[in-house]
Amino acid sequence: MSLTSQRVLCNSSLCELQRECTGTTGHCPYKMAYVSTDTSSSGILVEDVLYLTTDDTHHEVVEARIVFGCGQVQTGSFLDVAAPNGLFGLGMEKISVPSILSSRGLTSDSFSMCFGHDGIGRISFGDNGSSDQEETSFNLNQLRPTYNISITGVSVGNSSIDGGF
């Protein structure tokens, strides 16, 4: 935890699992199940400052308070092949980073990710991504709200493979 972080308390409007709290002043728990078999993360919610840079000509730094999970118990894929050193809340819940930024009037409730020609990954909040990025739409799974994309091809160096995956 950082010097600017604060644990979210059970009496906070951001605590979606209040029924699982021990008293109103306890720390708010979170539980997240993933699509991969038996893969989950649980712990407590933490509020902290995310430093963003505006994408205009001024490039101002904006301090945005966000909420994310401080994981204490991981299961499934997190224990073998996908051991995360951190998960960033891009889900569809009201406590996701894009939703919080939108509720505070900083951006629209959307984001984009781009892996540039320089090999650096970028995430942009709001409706505008990098001017040089390609686009692919999300396939929204209505039964289990998750993001998914359709891959139509893969290129590595000068080699390309077309087709669906």
* pLDDT tens per residue across span 112-156: 877 777 777 778 888 766 666 666 777 776 776 666 677 777 878
**Collapsing DSSP states into helix, strand and coil, what is residue 114?**
strand
Structure tokens at 48: 């902290």
Is the residue at 63 inside a domain? yes
Is the residue at 159 inside a domain? no
Is the residue at 17 inside a domain? yes
Scanning the structure block, which residue is given the tokens 């396939």?
139
CB 97 within 8 A of CB 68: yes
Q: What is the domain range of residue 10?
A: 6-135
Lowest mean pLDDT across 31-45, 50-64, 113-127: 113-127
* Beta bridge partner(s), residue 50: 64
Is the residue at 60 inside a domain? yes
Q: Which pTM was predicted?
A: 0.70
pLDDT, position 83: 54
How far lies 58's CA from each of 62, 74, 105, 114, in Å? 12, 41, 19, 22
Q: What is the CATH number of the domain that holds 114?
A: 2.40.70.10
Domain count, the chain: 1
Is the residue at 84 inside a domain? yes
Is the residue at 129 inside a domain? yes
Is the residue at 147 inside a domain? no
pLDDT, position 144: 65
- Residue 35: which pLDDT band, with cuts at 50, 70 and 90? confident
Is the residue at 35 inside a domain? yes
Listed in sequence order, the DSSP H helices in the chain are: 97-103
